[in-house]
Amino acid sequence: MLELDAVTAGYDQRAPVLRDITLSVAPGESVGLLGPSGCGKSTLARVAALLHRPDGGRVVIDGERAGGWRHRAPRAQRTAFGVVFQQPRLSADPRLRLADLVAEPLRANGRSGEVTDTVRELTERVGLGPELLGRRPHEVSDGQLQRACLARALVLRPRWLVCDEMTAMLDASTTAALVAVVEEYRRESGAGLLAVGHDRVLLERWCDRTVHWSELAA
Amino acid sequence: MAELTWKSTGDRRRSTRAWRVRGSAVTVAVIVLAVLLVPPLVQLDEQAVDLAAKLRQPSLAHPFGTDDVGRDLLLRCVYGLRVSLLVGVVAAVVATVIGTAVGAAAAASGGWFDRVVMRVVDLFSSVPHLLLGIFIVAMFSPGVWPVVVSVGLTHWLSTARIVRSEVLSLRSRPYVDAAISGGASRLRVAVRHLLPGVLPQAGLAAVLMVPHAIWHESALSFLGLGLPTHQASLGTLVQSSRGPLLAGDWWPTLFPGLCMVIATLAIAGLAGAWRERLNPRRRSELML
Amino acid sequence: MSTSTAVSTSTPLPVLSVRGLSVRFRMRGEKYVRAVSDAHFDLAAGECLALVGESGCGKSVLASALLGLLPGNAETSGSALLGDLDLMTADEQTLARTVRGRRIGLVPQSPAAHLTPVRTVRSQLEETVRELTGVPKPRSRKAAEAAAARAAFPADHLDRHPHELSGGLAQRAATALALIGDAPLLLADEPTTGLDRDLVERTVDELKRHTGEFRALLMITHDLAAAERIADRIAVMYAGRIVEHTDARAFFGAPGPRHPYARGLLDALPEREFTPIPGMPPELGDLPTGCAFAPRCDRATAACDVLPRLDAGVACHHALEAQRA
């Protein structure tokens, strides 16, 4: 269970972007969070993935209260989340080749030994051919880079996925392909999903249930 | 399919840029080789006074002419460039190291430390740094090292600002978020993602600072506060040419001045090319 | 439904006539990236053509070529006639002084980045009014307010800076700027990226309204829903080539797309099958000699080794024939 309980967060204590938001995702469940741009849903996604410290409220992950945010979060809690963001260009370190991009979380956790096999298996799954793995982000298209970013999010086999407007920049076919990869992973791992977006048709097709921001902020 | 006829767009702009870079590279190479090789190879005494040949116009024997005590100005210029470049490079390195350390520390720790450090930077920036430099050299006897210290200590401020804002901007990128979520430690994020992003900027700032530092050395020497007059540097050469210039002898001023301008343009040209390479732009050039 | 909808030259003189336009980029080692290959289309006044395709298919390059904004390593071939001016051979001065803003109005991809961040919307509108229409300073204030009103930009927001605007208002400000020159051709490059669905609909509806009777609209987008909403005709681009060019109603409606790629693209929509096209598009630097889609296509045969020509609106040896009989 991923529980966000009365979360208030923002970038300025005096003017929080979101106030008193409560939302929970059951294990294995996929929840689509719909809302207009600028409403604060991305901030909520970052709070849920322990990447932004809220000003109030609490986050409970599988019954365990979040111990901190960003680097202060225990590594086991941080790595329980796989995150994918809207803009692949900003989500990829421009100096890393795609293979290293995907392998980075393994190396950061001292699991370099698994890199070769895991990277091969995952990049194949997201549809990246071996000829692309040696390239740097500026040498591939948005769609290809987002595929690599999704592979990176899955590499530690997280129990929770947080996708913040993952497909907003992508065409219909790449969108369908990435959603299919996410769903396949969830089927075999039982991971839960919080998908944030503004495309009602997409989220209703993708997720078990969708919540509109206005229902949460009420 | 029939062969198409292709028309280029913007070709001219591209080739002039390429030529500018090549020209700068060749000039910098010539300058560096000259200051490194000429003194040990030529074995001439740049201080050799020849009162019989004072203030000679440029000629084959003395391409840059001679000064008011008959010293060969070409040789003096090479020695002057040597000293000026040494001062410029060392001062730039000193300033960059201090600036990078301060800027990175401020950005990394944030909070009150960041605020205090940046206010100090603002404070020092509000004093003209030539004035500050004069104050520092005035505490020592004239020589190369006081000038290096003076220029180095007054020029790290802008680097600190650049590095700090660069670290702050990199730290808020989603790829740092992704690294944290992937379990990366603070150290790993700093070493693997932040440092490689900042170092090229800091390096570029250092290169751009070399000509700046050369001009500062010259300014201090020109004011008589930098190097002792007998030691050839571009600044002391221009300074000691004031007398002859008033008498209508132009060459002792022109050639050291030209050396300074050419060295500056060449280094800046190379730095410009580097700046363009810093950001991988091939993709945006294709606009895909 | 006729099949000749693709070549709609019924109207007297097209606003824009693109003939055999190709763009390639010269890379290191005498290699070339072929971003646009042999594009043909006409665009008449009152008409809206949507150029759709996935990112990296070359559609933005085509837009930049029309505006003369290609980078230095680009080479072009073919022509693009805007009235009697060939945009491919026009020099930079002509493009800057008489084309951009005056004969082609550009509605940009990210309005927030297109507007100058440090100046108010009013000052940017006024400057553009003075620059493009020669209205002197005293009267430019009124003209700027009129321009804002035309794009339904609220007058009480005129003194705000771009960062103080919502996405929708920033888009309207950019549209107001694009409309000032009263250009006969509007070029919208991904005008809806990152906007909410309601805002997408409002933005494209407004674009359609501004097109009216006398302008032509070329909308470049990967958003098929936006294209469906306002386009009269659809051109589908794949690997730098227009592979299908047809009437929008036929494309989205009953007969449906005839090129297997276009069909796959539509089927990938969440409101339809939501199934991706297998594989990925080829590298534009390494295109096959035959049909570029063949490796991903379930209808491919040996015939596909030969490049299919655009014939009756579709470039495919095995176009879906159902509705032709």
CATH number at residue C271: 3.40.50.300
CB contact under 8 A, C224 and A180: no
**Cα distance between residue B74 and residue B34, in whole Å:** 11
Give the Cα separation of A85 and A99 in Å (integer): 19
Cβ <8 Å between A51 and B193: no
Higher-pLDDT residue of B66 and C1 is: B66
Asked if C33 contacts C57 with a C-beta cutoff of 8 angstroms, the reply is: no
Average pLDDT over residues B97-125: 88
Decide which of C214 and C109 is more confident: C214
C109 contact B CB<8A? no
**CB-count exposure of residue A187 (10 Å: 0-12, 13-18, 19+):** exposed
pLDDT of res. C97: 86
Q: Which residue of A has its CA nearest to B175?
A: A91
Nearest CA in chain A to C165: A38
**In chain C, positions 244-303, which contact chain B (CB-CB < 8 Å)?**
284
The answer, yes or no, to whether residue C1 has pLDDT greater than 70, is no
> Does position C270 have pLDDT exceeding 60, yes or no?
yes
B187: exposed, middle or buried (C-beta count within 10 Å: 0-12, 13-18, 19+)?
exposed
Chain B residues whose CB is inside 8 A of the C282 CB are: none
CB pair distance less than 8 Å for C55 and A86: no
pLDDT for res A158: 96
Any idea which of B75-89, C101-115, C221-235 has the lowest mean pLDDT? C101-115
Confidence of residue B235 (pLDDT cuts 50, 70, 90): confident
8-state DSSP, A153: H
Residue C203 domain-assigned (yes or no):
no
Q: How far apart are CA C306 and CA C124, in angstroms?
A: 52
Q: Is residue C182 part of a domain?
A: no
Rounded CA gap, B53 and B97, in Å? Answer: 46
Cα distance between residue C115 and residue C177, in whole Å: 9
Facing B186 at nearest CB: one of A71, A81, A93: A71
B143–chain C nearest CA distance, Å: 47
pLDDT of residue C307: 92
With an 8 Å Cβ cutoff, are C284 and B288 in contact? Answer: yes
pLDDT of residue B14: 56
Q: Could you tell me which of A117, A113, A49 has the C-alpha nearest to residue B179? A: A49
Instruction: Give the minimum alpha-carbon distance from C281 to chain A in angstroms, rounded to a whole number.
Output: 10
Q: Report the gap between the CA of B124 and the closest CA in chain C (Å).
A: 28
Residues of C in contact with B13 (CB under 8 A): 72
Question: A192-206, B258-272, C6-20 — which one is most confidently predicted on average?
Answer: A192-206
How sure is the predictor about C6, in pLDDT bands with cuts at 50, 70 and 90? Answer: very low
Percent of chain B residues past pLDDT 70, beyond the cut = 90
Mean pLDDT to the nearest integer, B121-136:
84
Distance CA B29, CA B6 (A): 38
CB contact under 8 A, C280 and A175: no
List phi, psi (to 5°) of C243.
Answer: -100, -20
Give the list of residues 6+ apart from residue A198 with CB closer than 8 angstroms, or none: A34, A35, A36, A37, A165, A168, C195, C196, C197
d(C-alpha B222, C-alpha A202), whole Å: 71
- Against chain A, the chains showing at least 3 CB pairs within 8 Å are B, C
pTM: 0.81
Q: Which of A128, A173, A198 to mutate to test the interface with C (most CBs of C within 10 A)?
A: A173
β-strand partners of C25: C33, C74
pLDDT at residue C212 tops 50: yes
Question: In this model, does residue B40 exceed pLDDT 90?
Answer: no
C27, C55, C60, C163: best mutation site toward chain A, by most A Cβ within 10 Å? C55
What are the tokens at C180? 């000032």
How distant is the Cα of A141 from the closest Cα of chain B, in angstroms? 7
Based on the structure, what is the number of domains in chain C? Answer: 1
Residue B205's Cβ-count burial label (10 Å; 0-12, 13-18, 19+) is: buried
Q: Which CATH architecture has domain B66-277?
A: Orthogonal Bundle (1.10)
Chain C: partners with 3+ C-beta pairs within 8 Å: A, B
Domain ranges of chain B: 66-277
Residue of B170, B173, B181 best to disrupt the A interface, most CBs of A under 10 A: B181
Any B CB within 8 A of A94 CB: yes
CB contact under 8 A, C89 and B10: no
Nearest chain B Cα distance for residue C60, angstroms: 7
- What are the tens digits of pLDDT across the range C50-84? 999 887 788 888 998 998 888 878 899 999 999 88
pLDDT confidence of residue B288: 44
Question: In this model, does residue C16 exceed pLDDT 90?
Answer: yes
Give the whole-angstrom CA distance, residue B136 versus residue B91: 14
Residue C70 in contact with partner chain B when CB distance is under 8 A: yes
Q: Is B2 on the interface with C (CB under 8 A)?
A: no
Q: Is B111 on the interface with A (CB under 8 A)?
A: no
What pLDDT shows up at residue C2? Answer: 43
* Residue C9 is assigned to a structural domain of this protein: no
* Residues from chain A contacting residue C53 (CB–CB below 8 Å): 171
CB atoms C268 and A141 under 8 Å: no
Query: Considering the domain boundaries, does residue C83 fall inside one?
Result: yes
Which residues of A fall within a CB distance of 8 Å from B175? 90-93
CB contact under 8 A, B10 and C71: yes
Higher-confidence position of A142 and B53: A142
Do B181 and A108 make contact, defined as CB atoms within 8 angstroms? Answer: no
Q: Find chain A residues with C-beta within 8 A of C224's C-beta.
A: 172
In B, minimum Cα distance to C240 occurs at B288
CA distance B171 to chain A (A): 11
A85 in B contact zone (CB under 8 Å): yes
C-beta atoms of A108 and B179 within 8 A: yes
Task: Report how far apart, in Å, the C-alpha atoms of A160 and of each of A30, B2, C40, C116, C129 are.
Answer: 10, 55, 48, 40, 53
> Does residue C198 form part of some domain?
no
Residue numbers of B between 13 and 32 with CB closer than 8 Å to C: 13-14
Q: Does A79 touch chain B (CB under 8 A)?
A: yes
The DSSP output letter for C294 is G
- Which range of residues forms the domain containing residue C220? 14-94+216-318
**Residue C226: inside a domain:** yes
- Contact (Cβ atoms closer than 8 angstroms) between residue B183 and residue A156: yes
Which residues does C298 contact at the CB level (< 8 Å), separation at least 6?
A: C260
Whether the per-residue pLDDT at B91 is higher than 50: the answer is: yes
Confidence of residue B182 (pLDDT cuts 50, 70, 90): very high
User: Is the minimum CB–CB distance between C108 and chain B shorter than 8 Å?
Assistant: no
CB atoms within 10 A of CB A131: 9
Residue C11 confidence (pLDDT) above 60: no
Q: Whole-angstrom Cα distance, residue B251 to residue B200?
A: 40
Provide the shortest C-alpha distance from residue C90 to chain A (in Å): 31
Question: Which two structure tokens, joined as six digits, stand for C136?
Answer: 């002197």
What is the residue-averaged pLDDT of chain C? Answer: 86
Q: Does residue A38 or residue C98 have the better pLDDT?
A: C98
pLDDT under 70: residue ranges of chain A? 218
- Rounded alpha-carbon distances, angstroms, from residue B103 to B132, B161, B173: 21, 6, 18
Residue C324 has pLDDT above 60, yes or no: no
Phi (first) and psi of residue C2, to 5 degrees: -100, 165
Q: Which chain C residues are within 8 Å of A175, Cβ to Cβ?
A: 268, 270, 276
Nearest CA in chain C to B287: C61
Residue C235 placed within a domain: yes
CA distance A161 to A2: 11
Compute the nearest-CA separation of C308 from chain A (Å): 23
Of C262 and B202, the structure prediction assigns the larger pLDDT to C262
Q: What is the ipTM for the molecules in this complex?
A: 0.92
B51: part of which helix (H) or strand (E)? none
Contact C46, C211 (CB under 8 A): yes
pLDDT digits (tens, 9 = 90+) for C229-253: 999 999 999 999 999 999 999 999 8
pLDDT at C12: 62
pLDDT at A106: 96
CA distance B26 to B32: 10
Average pLDDT estimate for B209-217:
85
Residue of chain B minimizing CA distance to A107:
B184
| pLDDT number for residue B142 | 77
Q: CB distance from B12 to chain A under 8 Å?
A: no
B 154-213 residues with CB < 8 A to A: 173-175, 177-186, 188-189, 192-193, 196-197
Interchain proximity A168–C266, CB inside 8 Å: no
At C91 the three-state DSSP class reads coil
- What does the pLDDT look like over A9-37, one tens digit per residue? 988 888 888 999 999 999 999 999 998 87
Using pLDDT thresholds of 50, 70 and 90, give the confidence band for residue C322.
low
The pLDDT, as a whole number, for residue C90 is 87
Residues of chain A neighbouring C276 (CB-CB closer than 8 A):
173-177, 180
From residue C107, give the alpha-carbon distance in Å to each of B220, C92, C96, C147, C177: 54, 20, 16, 14, 8
More confident residue, B251 or A134: A134
